[in-house]
Structure 1
Amino acid sequence: MQRIKKIVLAFIVLTITSCASRKEIVYFQKDQVDQSKTNTTYKTVFKADDLLQITVSALNSEAVKPFNLQTVSYSLSTDSPTGRPQQQTYLIDNEGFIDFPVLGRLKLAGLSRTEAIELLKNKLSPDYVKNPTINIKITNFSITVLGDVKMPGRFTIPNERISVLEAVGLAGDLNMSGIRTIEVKREENNEIKSYKLDLRSNEVFNSPAYYLQQNDVVYVEPNRSSSQDAAYNKNTGLFISLGSVIISLISILTR
């Protein structure tokens, strides 16, 4: 009878432990998605250090040539062009400006893509180009995922649109030891802001950091046991070496 009680007790403890583990690990378990609050909008806002590719098109192809400059590489030995010409890119400087052909310095930092296109259209038409079509692309749009994930690293995003869940997917998902409340670091108005997102809750879809912006950093913290194991493994060699030295000293002194 006593043995049966022990088995039942062990089963109960195991069940409770399993439930607790599941609550700490499984995504989207806490609540239902409130569609009225879901963050479905995304807007790219240009920032300092963005590298922009700006293409100007119009019916008059000659009129747009000065605004679609191309760059080529030159051989050091022959001083002749090598490779295919690439379209000129424009780096937004620390003050938020680019230096655009003919038009000069234009402030694009802080503008959305729509606002920047409208600005360029107003500058170009009708004096330089009639009814221009303008496309702006960030060529260095990237995000970084660090911490307790399978493949941490920096990832380039060609279409400039990525959610925090997609970023976690690019990094191979969280390890089992990764805490499910992750952190997004973002530079806004010359300040670093932090956003906490609990992947166990459907509230993650309502976060202002659900869609990542260029240069965002996603950090996954390891749980306590994983951190302790890492610290233990790091110091094990030191303890063994120290123990060997102490044993050697004792052996010498007791001879």
Structure 2
Amino acid sequence: MRLLITVFFICSILFNLSSCSSKQYQSLFEQKSTNTIDTVSPKNNPAFIGYRIKPQDIIQIRNLQNISYIVDAAPSTSASGGGATGGSGQTYQVEEDGSVALPVIGHVNIAGLTRPQAAKLVEDLYRKSLLKDPIIELKITNLKVTLLGELTSQGSFPLIKDKTTLVEMIGQAGGLTKNANETNIKIIRGDQLNPQVTLINLRDIQSINDPRAILQSGDIVYVSQNKRSVRNENLQNISAVSQPALLLLNTALLILSFSRR
């Protein structure tokens, strides 16, 4: 009997350890405060207003009318201060003073402007000094969102388009996996001292028009496992633990039965 009690004691310890490891995995990005955003009007949403250019941002500029005026014929590898030629335009880094050095027109202060505002400013300056009817395309290439959890692809994805929605970004990542909990998708934004968590339910058709689901640079999107997946994972853990435990129990019973003969 002592041997049986010992075997059951060992099995219970292994079961508890397995349950704890599964619970720790599920507690990733768990909400522990009251920072959840319930309502955000489009007027107060920075993503709706438009991202404003900051120092150290990388912008890409090209003239759709005549690309040779913005992009050098010979490729360059430098991206700091001056420009670097990319496959679809010339890239420039915004300096600490908020200006960017552009060919012919020199330093232009664009910090604090939205992407359309900066594009119009550059377009007007080139029209006055050099180009006839330019059409300037300006992109901010260093903006990104991090996707984690139950998605086909995880990692950092660029925010090239204005007002990129959660659904669009999930589509870029290849969609949700079969284990995803689509009713409780977390968008985490803000600094480390005061993070804000927005919960989006993709089962609700109204989530498509939800202004909170418009992503901002630096956002973290986390898709957790659904209950079915968690249950299946727990069952697998129990099975993995119970099989050697049952084998040990059978061995103990055999030893006990032979010892009584």
- After TM superposition, the score normalised by the length of structure 2 is 0.51
Match of 1:126 in 2: 128
| Residue aligning to 1:168 | 170
Larger relative strand fraction: 1
Match of residue 61 from structure 2 = 54
Alignment map for 1:1-255 (pairs within 5 Å)? 44-48=50-54, 50-56=57-63, 65=69, 67-69=70-72, 72=75, 87-92=89-94, 95=96, 97-101=98-102, 103-104=106-107, 106-108=109-111, 110-124=112-126, 126-127=128-129, 129=131, 132-140=134-142, 142-149=144-151, 151-154=152-155, 155-156=157-158, 159=161, 162-170=164-172, 171-187=174-190, 192-224=195-227, 226-227=229-230, 230=233
Amino acid at match of 1:168: I
Q: Which structure: greater helix fraction? A: 2
Work out whether residues 56 and 135 of structure 1, in 8 Å CA contact, stay in contact via their aligned partners in 2: yes
Provide closer, same or farther for how the CA distance between residues 136 and 167 of structure 1 changes in structure 2, counting only shifts above 3 A: same
Q: Secondary structure at the match of 2:214?
A: coil
Aligned equivalents of 1:236 and 1:220: distance in 2? Answer: 26
| Percent of paired sites with the same residue | 22
CA distance in 2, matches of 1:174, 1:201: 18
* Cα deviation digits, residues 27-65 of structure 1 (max 9, x gap): xxxxxxxxxx9x9x9664244564321124679x9xx84
Query: Equivalents in 2 of 1:73, 1:129: separation in Å?
Result: 23
Residue 180 of structure 1 deviates from its aligned partner by 1.1
Rounded Cα–Cα distance in structure 2 between residues aligned with 1:138 and 1:50: 7
User: Alpha-carbon deviations, 1:71-127, whole Å to 9, x = none?
Assistant: 5268xxxxxxxx99874302346x58353225225233x422221123324544534
- Alpha-carbon RMSD across the aligned residues, in angstroms, is 4.9
SS in 1 for 2:62: strand
Matching residue's letter, 2:221 = V
Aligned partners of 2:61, 2:224: CA distance in 1, in Å?
A: 39
Q: Secondary structure at the match of 1:165?
A: helix
Query: Could you tell me how far apart the structure 1 residues matched to 2:175 and 2:87 are?
Result: 36
Q: Could you give the per-residue CA deviations for residues 159-212 of structure 1, whole angstroms, max 9, x where no partner exists?
A: 556422233334322534525121223458x97543221222233134223333
Residues 226 and 90 (structure 1), Cα distance of their counterparts in 2 relative to 1, 3 Å cut: same
Give the letter for the 1:183 counterpart: K
Contact 1:69–1:87 (CA under 8 A) maintained in structure 2 = no
Which segment drifts farther, 226-235 or 191-200? 226-235
CA contact (8 A) 2:179 2:226 kept: no
CA distance in 1, matches of 2:64, 2:202: 44
Structure 1, unmatched stretches of 5+, are 1-36, 75-82, 246-255
Give structure 2 stretches of 5+ with no counterpart. 1-41, 78-84, 249-261
Alpha-carbon offset, residue 136 of structure 1: 0.6
Report if aligned partners of 1:97, 1:106 keep a CA contact under 8 Å in 2.
yes
Structure 2 SS opposite 1:221? strand
Which piece of structure 1 moves more, 231-240 or 202-211?
231-240
The residue that corresponds to 1:8 in the other structure is: none
Quote the Cα distance in structure 2 between the aligned partners of 1:191 and 1:106: 31
2:175 counterpart letter in structure 1: G
Matched residues in 2 for 1:228 and 1:96: separation?
55
